[in-house]
Structure 1
């Protein structure tokens, strides 16, 4: 967890984060990390290393390879969540019930530094990435009508759970992009409650379907069936041979 000590007193701002996520896992790995803009300085918790029911903005880079719940995207996955303190991040469903928007990203185990840009300007949240070492930004998503207060704190956190990965932060750059914003406007916005007027509708929380049989389990069941069939066939052949031999003897 990496908290920043001073609140952001800018109406408009942009953040560039340089990072590398790497590990030895090829099939199972995770969990991911998050960039935060929150009312309180960071506290340890269950949401990628930080607390739940937060006030503010979370930009989440979820690397968990065995994704949770019914949705159409693959992992790693980048998403945003705005919270006024009343919502819980649903980790079992990868936060898809409360996300503003998101996109698939491929940044794990590459040989170069990867970057993310988070820009908040005139209530528009824009997230872009540079994941191919081309020194150019690629848009992930743009969401309008996102209201965030001034005076909140920036931070970074990560978690791995039972699956091990390294989350290396190489750089964190903050840019004040205010243009003719008055001090009164900045102070007025300290009273705003975080909200987003346009976001992906919360979906009904559904239990995961019961897991099907693994390939190994199916293989052993088929093997057992073949063995049993072979034993039955051998017994039948032996039985009829013995029966025919008795008939010829008599």
Structure 2
């Protein structure tokens, strides 16, 4: 690596020296154009890599050996429900029916930009689609409140990222002897995100479809390698990625701008089981503070204090989902109108041709 670094610096210095050696022969205008291009390239690389730094915030992080979690007053985390601490993980629920558990941060987070890396494991004896229900990672105003949304309260205020392992809507449709269309059917487990303002309910029967911001399928059960979830909030942009293939590579799941989350909320993780069950384990929650260089325009835009969680252009997002769901009907009517238009053109053509043929015969008389 050192040799490569030295060779790179040598190449750079050689390039710069050649640039300045030709300075006398290069036209003045061309020199400034080249200098501007070099400056622009440097800015692009700076925007991608060098303008952001991350720092682990231990007071908002949970990792081994979990000293005092849920029992010591010096711990930054509380346990709730059926959650328990072992040497290897914080087990939110055991592989037993009708259990729910949680771990919540005691300290509110006042960071502008942050990144949460979740090391988790979901495993149990149940076969595919015979397990449930899933776990959730939270950044919310409320904490330590039991409820139906993966072990947390409904009508929450803040952000929820859900790892849903049971297809409630699909089973409900199958019970009615209906079928999914290929466009709307999902493969479970499924990761999705939702922002609530305190009055929006999570639709459990439809697996959160009406209020979701987006998501992706994630086959996370009973894997022998580690599984990770990545949540980043920076410049009012929410990004969710997963690493579940054992390749140490992040895969995109959700990337949405215009997400407005207030400061001073709490991080937490919850899980729930019903008639079906799984072990839902948290191995670590690591929160990083992101230090980001902002332009004056961005600083001016973010001076406004956010008091209620919201998502910009949420109606347009919902409209896009409706249009996607109606695409089959839209294709049918498009084909129908094209066929009618084609028939109409043929009829017009025949009428015009008959009039032309009749007038042609009249010229011969």
Which interval holds the TM-score relative to the shorter structure? 0.7 to 0.9
Gaps of 5+ in 2: 1-101, 174-179, 323-365
Counterpart of 1:9?
110
- Normalised by the length of structure 1, the TM-score is 0.75
- Normalised by the length of structure 2, the TM-score is 0.52
Shift of 1:66: 5.4
Give yes or no for contact 2:168–2:206 (8 Å, CA) kept in 1.
Answer: no
- Say which structure, 1 or 2, has more relative contact order (CA 8 Å, 6+ apart): 1
The 1:3/1:189 distance shift into structure 2, 3 A limit, reads: farther
Counterpart secondary structure, 1:97: helix
Shift of 1:14: 0.1
The 1:3/1:190 distance shift into structure 2, 3 A limit, reads: farther
Counterpart of 1:31?
133
State the alpha-carbon separation in 2 of the partners of residues 62 and 8 from structure 1: 26
Aligned residue pairs total: 201
Structure number with larger C-alpha Rg: 2
Shift of 1:74: 1.4
Counterpart secondary structure, 1:178: strand
User: Would you say 1:114 and 2:227 are equivalent positions?
Assistant: yes
The 1:190/1:36 distance shift into structure 2, 3 A limit, reads: farther
Counterpart of 2:345?
none
Shift of 1:192: 2.3
Give yes or no for contact 1:76–1:105 (8 Å, CA) kept in 2.
Answer: yes
- What's the CA shift string for 1:178-208, capped at 9, x where partnerless? 3368xx99x976642100124441889xxxx
State the alpha-carbon separation in 1 of the partners of residues 261 and 304 from structure 2: 8
State the alpha-carbon separation in 2 of the partners of residues 52 and 197 from structure 1: 22
Counterpart of 2:311?
196
State the alpha-carbon separation in 1 of the partners of residues 272 and 200 from structure 2: 20
User: Would you say 1:78 and 2:191 are equivalent positions?
Assistant: yes
Counterpart secondary structure, 2:318: coil
Counterpart of 1:20?
121
Counterpart of 2:54?
none
State the alpha-carbon separation in 1 of the partners of residues 148 and 106 from structure 2: 22
Summarize the alignment of residues 197-216 of structure 1 with structure 2, pairs less than 5 Å apart.
197-199=312-314, 200-201=317-318
Summarize the alignment of residues 1-250 of structure 1 with structure 2, pairs less than 5 Å apart.
1-27=102-128, 28-65=130-167, 67-68=169-170, 71-179=184-292, 191-199=306-314, 200-201=317-318
**Greater strand fraction, Structure 1 or Structure 2:** 1
Counterpart secondary structure, 1:171: strand
Shift of 1:134: 1.1
Gaps of 5+ in 1: 205-250
Give yes or no for contact 1:144–1:198 (8 Å, CA) kept in 2.
Answer: no
State the alpha-carbon separation in 2 of the partners of residues 66 and 131 from structure 1: 23
**Greater helix fraction, Structure 1 or Structure 2:** 2
